[in-house]
Amino acid sequence: MAALMVLAAVGAWAADDPAAPRGALLELHSCELFAGSCVVSSEAEVAGNYVLRVWRFEDGKIGGVALRGLTVALLERGELNLAVPENRADGAVVYLPKGLRPEQRATLLAWAAQNTAAKPSVKELPLAAQFGANKVSFSAGADVAFTGGTPATCEVGGCGEMLWYEPRGASSSFVVDQLDRSRIVEPLLAMKWMDHGRRTLFVGRFGDPEPTGPAICGAARTASL
């Protein structure tokens, strides 16, 4: 019953609520998000079946539980391209930071579980999410880590490329960043996922009361970021 109450509270917040959860997000895919049509079509069925999402809460409460300063991550695996929101994951792992109080743990787990169709496994590890002006990074323990940054600037469409996807979860703004390097090893999903140098990373925000449009292909970041 307590878990159901937490899930109900997680699903009930609205962005115009002053206590609504707000913060920064990262979403790393195993396919390119901003690219030419040939690249996207070649990856659509074979390369997009992994996604790692990270939420860092800057403010807000759910069911009276304060979330400021907390981070949670969700790693998913699927048979289909998970950059397509309608495609469902068949396996997932939630990464929670160590040292949470029971009510914080239940709330973060409910938040992550609501964002996946799979029944997730849970790990508690040291989490570190960094958001800089031109560089971002995330790590969960020793085997899950990536870094990324602003790609080279070009006019929209000027590189013969376009935006094909948007973040899977609710976002109030986002940009497409270029992955520097990633190493994700997760035995619970039989996963060894390494990548580098591609535009596979969304960096954005969630919960802001005034959403803004995406900035892509090295354009200046939105005011929210």
- 27, 173 Cβ separation under 8 angstroms: no
Q: Is the pLDDT of residue 117 over 70?
A: yes
Task: State mean pLDDT over 93-109.
Answer: 98
pLDDT of residue 107: 98
- Note the pLDDT tens digit of each residue in 24-44: 999 999 999 988 888 877 776
Helix (H, G, I), strand (E, B) or coil at 107: helix
Task: State mean pLDDT over 156-179.
Answer: 83
Contacts 24+ apart (CB under 8 A), 151-158: 151/176, 151/177, 151/178, 151/199, 151/217, 151/218, 152/218, 153/217, 153/218, 153/219, 154/217, 154/218, 155/217, 156/216, 156/217, 156/219, 158/217
pLDDT of residue 151: 84
Q: Is the pLDDT of residue 137 over 70?
A: yes
Strand-pair partners of 176: 202
Domain ranges for the chain: 18-206
d(CA 202, CA 118): 22
Confidence bin at 58 (pLDDT 50/70/90): very high
pLDDT of residue 164: 87
Q: Is the pLDDT of residue 191 over 80?
A: yes
- In 3D, which of 97, 55, 57, 53 has the Cα closest to residue 76? 53
Tell me how long the chain is: 225
pLDDT of residue 41: 78
pLDDT of residue 6: 39
d(CA 10, CA 20): 10
End-to-end CA distance of the chain: 38
CA distances from 124 to 36, 56, 95, 96, 141 (A): 39, 16, 6, 5, 9
Helix (H, G, I), strand (E, B) or coil at 9: helix
Can you list the alpha helix ranges (DSSP code H) found in the chain?
2-10, 37-43, 102-114
d(CA 131, CA 24): 8
> pTM for this structure?
0.85
Confidence bin at 119 (pLDDT 50/70/90): very high
Q: Is the pLDDT of residue 131 over 90?
A: yes
Most confident of 8-22, 110-124, 142-156: 110-124
Q: Which comes out higher in pLDDT, residue 19 or 55?
A: 55
pLDDT of residue 28: 98
d(CA 179, CA 32): 10
